[in-house]
Homo-oligomer: A and B are copies of this chain.
Amino acid sequence: MTRKNLAGTKSELSRRAVLGAGAASALALPIAADAMPRPMPETWDETVDVVVVGSGFAGLAAAYEAQKAGASVVILEKMRTPGGNSLISGGVMSAAGSPAQAAQGIEDSPEQLYQDMLTAGLHLNHPELARIAAERSTETHQWTVDEFGAEWADELSHMGGHAVPRAYKTAVGSGAGVVVPMLETLRDLGIEPRTGALLKHIVRDDDGRVKGVEIREGYRFPDEDSGTTKLIRASRGVVLATGGFGNDIGFRMLQDPRLDETLDSTNQPGATGEALREAMAVGCFLVQPSWVQLGPWTSPDERGFGRAPLFVQLVTAAYGLWVSTETGKRFVDEMADRKTRADAILSQDNKVIAFCDGKGFEVAQQRLGDNLLEALLDSGVVRKFDTLDAMAAAYDSPLDPLAETISAFNASVDVGEDQEMGRYMQADQFRIETPPYYAVRLLPKIHHCMGGLAMDAEARALDVQTSDPIPGLYVAGEAAGGVHGASRLGSCAYVDCLVFGRIAGKNVAAHPVWR
């Protein structure tokens, strides 16, 4: 439904009234004033063409494209270091129909990636957005090489939910392999993210256009009162590349009440979502916020992503079992998709361990190396038990059902088919019977917010009243919603963030200047 302008009718109220009522009540009830829109400032402390908020993939890509198009650009980053979640991410990026695939004889296409994204997203993806991401994946991967000199390994990974191997991995094995070259290139162009710069307010004028931002300079996360106020006029526009709300417990519990304070996240601490709240307060439209992706392979006994996931996924899921410590029983196919497994763990009151036997631990030693395993054992994240009795006792778990669970699984191994949970059986699947046993507690952690602010194919933020673009406001990356629908595939965040960051940067640089 489109809605027409009614300005100029009787509904046009006296603007003078703002002075009287507004000023008086602000004194009487100042508590709520922070929640209300700001009036236009009389003067600005600084003027640039483009303000980019956030310095992860989306923000850096936007800044680069805007600068290349001739705009003056400022990047604001509230934390002490730039890079956001992108910096600490796993370093994998999908490219459909890539040169590496051609060299390895892998048939693939953007259409296939698009279909994979829709399947994972339960067809809730905004089709146009998902298609753009898929179609530009290979070109954008190449762009990281050509423009920034990002280094990628030759081998492609076959990530869960993808039809074929199509994920490049950075040479250094994390997002730093892209973020650092991008930061260096931008620095050479004279753009350095301003760290400790918190977005406080988006200045949206009565004409509907976003005209600048109010920030806190010298902000020290998470001290809300730190820093000093500064007003930056954005002559062309503002790009919100502020990430998700994974660490905003109140926000996420409204959208999924199961995600309470007992759940950690794999995100950097600054994923606190206040920029999204501010964006909605000035009229942005929130889409699909209840789809929050949890990683099922994380441990509550270490912070953030941690070291457990590789051990949990490659060893306990493939060669061990996941059981409820309350019942001693399995409750899910340990190789199912992320969402199925995370939901299943949550439904077990989070009383779950993943374990393997001594033979499984040998697999771990071969695949993961001794350093990682020593760190896991030293920190107590993984615990070693000489007997099954000892393991059951340590987790206050009933022994007999646990032993029965293992017997039943071993019978499945003997017949080559998981008769209980239908799990995919490894070629070298072996019986679980060789002490000692190694166990790790499981608790899902918030990993990615699929929902976010509504954007169109031009990365323009959409107005909650009209669904039309908000003049002067762009959004990209995890801050935006719709690309991934119900579930983001691994290695598709890089695509999303870089593709729409670039689109936002190009478009904001071409946005008409306001005077």
Contacts and interface: CB of A to CB of B under 8 A. Distances in A.
Interface of A: 1-11, 13-23, 25-26, 28-42, 123-127, 200-201, 204-209, 214, 224-225, 228-229, 248-251, 254-258, 272-274, 277-278, 280-281, 283, 285-291, 346-347, 451, 454, 462-467, 471, 482
Given A32-B208, A254-B287, A290-B290, A281 B464 contact: yes
Contacts of A204: 36
Contacts of A31: 5, 208
16 contacts: A1-B272, A4-B224, A6-B200, A7-B30, A15-B19, A28-B207, A32-B209, A32-B471, A33-B208, A34-B466, A35-B466, A36-B208, A254-B287, A257-B482, A278-B465, A281-B465
A19 B21 contact: no
Contacts of A201: 11
Contacts of A38: 11, 13
Contacts of A41: 13-14, 17
Contacts of A256: 124
A286 B23 CA distance: 29
B33 A287 contact: no
Given A206-B22, A207-B33, A258 B124 contact: yes
Count copies of this chain in the complex: 2
Nearest to A14: B42
A23 B33 contact: no
B29 A209 contact: yes
A259 to B, nearest CB: 10
Contact of A274 (B1, B26, B254, B289): B1
Contacts of A14: 39, 41-42
Contacts of A23: 15, 206
A251 B467 CA distance: 8
A214 B257 contact: no
A489 to B, nearest CB: 18
A29 B8 CA distance: 12
A222 to B, nearest CB: 8
Contact of A482 (B4, B11, B254, B471): B254
A14 B26 CA distance: 12
Given A32-B207, A200-B6, A258 B123 contact: yes
Nearest to A258: B123
B205 A22 contact: yes
B3 A18 contact: no
Contacts of A273: 1
A39 B10 contact: no
Given A15-B39, A258-B123, A205 B280 contact: no
Given A33-B7, A34-B4, A254-B467, A13 B26 contact: no
Given A34-B5, A290-B287, A123 B347 contact: yes
Contacts of A286: 280, 286, 289
Contacts of A346: 123
A17 B39 contact: yes
A229 B9 CA distance: 8
Nearest to A10: B229
Contacts of A466: 32, 34-35
